[in-house]
Amino acid sequence: MGTVTKALSLLTFFTQTRPEIGLSDLTRLSGMNKATAYRLLTELQAGGFVEQAGTGRAYRLGPEVLRLAALREASVPILTVSRGVLDGLSAATGETTHVSLVRAEVLNTIAHAYSPSHATRVAMDDAEVISFHGTASGLAFLAYADPGFVDAVLSRPLAAHTGDTVTDPERIRALLDRVRAEGIAESIGGFEADVHSHATPIFGADGRPIGALAVAAPVSRMTAELRALIRTELNRAALALTRDIGGSCPPAYPRRMAA
């Protein structure tokens, strides 16, 4: 891992629930020694990517991140476009929907929408880090990712988020074969207990996956009828989102999902 990659990897540890992180915690989270983490943070701070705040001198994301995010959104307005898609998909399915993107080899949710149809629903946080192996979104992305990326992900220790999380690499590869055949990934309790999720990848202009669109429902509410509805609406919405951001599905991607 090069110096630039190491420095940027520190930014992935900031989340909505962890907006400020001290040096000791960043050292622990990253696995770097304290001197290396401090040197990289100093360089990031000089470039405006992080800043220190408060009496504890914890680090938080700096103004340069906001500037780059605004430029990205202006050129490829995926966040703006996805909000309309998410609202429509939630209205059609009656369930929670969310979009995630891969950034610096980490899968993050960037936007979500709730349906008013039910008082009980799956809760989401924007900027939440979710796992590749334990979520429908992660499996949807991996199914169409470069083989080297998949090998790298599956060679790491895979956390068991719940008792239903699949952590065996060979079993995960078998799941990815099914995703490629059907065009949709499915996870029941793999990341959060009692949550049944479906997801399909969204693609960039080069036909490679950049993230995923997903629908999450309580396990207790999932029926055969709801499952079929989610798969149909998710297929339509994901194709529309890929098109609207200027993306292109690869030839092997099934345009009509298997039931």
Q: Is 10 helix (H, G, I), strand (E, B) or coil?
A: helix
The CATH number of residue 56's host domain is 1.10.10.10
**Predicted confidence (pLDDT) at residue 70 exceeds the cutoff of 90:** no
* pLDDT given at position 73: 65
CA angle 142, 235, 249 (to 5 degrees): 55
Q: Are residues 85 and 12 in the same domain?
A: no
Could you tell me the pLDDT band of residue 256, with boundaries at 50, 70 and 90? low
Q: Are residues 47 and 168 in the same domain?
A: no
Q: Are residues 55 and 88 in the same domain?
A: no
Q: Are residues 217 and 153 in the same domain?
A: yes
Q: Are residues 93 and 161 in the same domain?
A: yes
Query: Domain for residue 30, yes or no?
Result: yes
Q: Of 67, 87, 102, which one is at a domain's C-terminal end?
A: 67
- Mean pLDDT of the region 95-120: 90
How many domains, in total, are found in the chain? 2
The predicted model scores a pTM of 0.74
Query: Domain for residue 224, yes or no?
Result: yes
- Mean pLDDT of the region 162-166: 95
Q: Where are the beta strands (DSSP E) in 54-154?
A: 58-61, 96-103, 106-113, 129-130
CA angle 43, 47, 48 (to 5 degrees): 115
Q: Are residues 132 and 237 in the same domain?
A: yes
Q: Are residues 33 and 83 in the same domain?
A: no
Q: Of 67, 98, 114, which one is at a domain's C-terminal end?
A: 67
Cβ atoms of 211 and 101 within 8 Å: the answer is yes
Q: Are residues 190 and 225 in the same domain?
A: yes
Q: Are residues 23 and 98 in the same domain?
A: no
Could you tell me the pLDDT band of residue 126, with boundaries at 50, 70 and 90? confident
* pLDDT given at position 55: 75
Q: Are residues 56 and 89 in the same domain?
A: no
| Nearest-angstrom CA–CA distance, 103 and 114 | 24
Q: Are residues 87 and 174 in the same domain?
A: yes
Q: Of 37, 67, 97, which one is at a domain's C-terminal end?
A: 67
* pLDDT given at position 75: 66
Query: Domain for residue 171, yes or no?
Result: yes
**Residue 27 CA from chain centroid, whole number:** 24
Query: Domain for residue 80, yes or no?
Result: yes
Report, in angstroms and rounded to the nearest whole number, the Rg of the chain calculated over CA atoms: 19
Write the pLDDT tens digit of every residue in 18-61.
889 999 999 999 999 999 999 999 999 999 999 998 777 899 99
Could you tell me the pLDDT band of residue 258, with boundaries at 50, 70 and 90? very low
Amino acid letter, residue 123:
A
Q: Are residues 123 and 29 in the same domain?
A: no
Domain that holds residue 155: 76-244
**Predicted confidence (pLDDT) at residue 255 exceeds the cutoff of 70:** no
Query: Domain for residue 154, yes or no?
Result: yes
Query: Domain for residue 257, yes or no?
Result: no
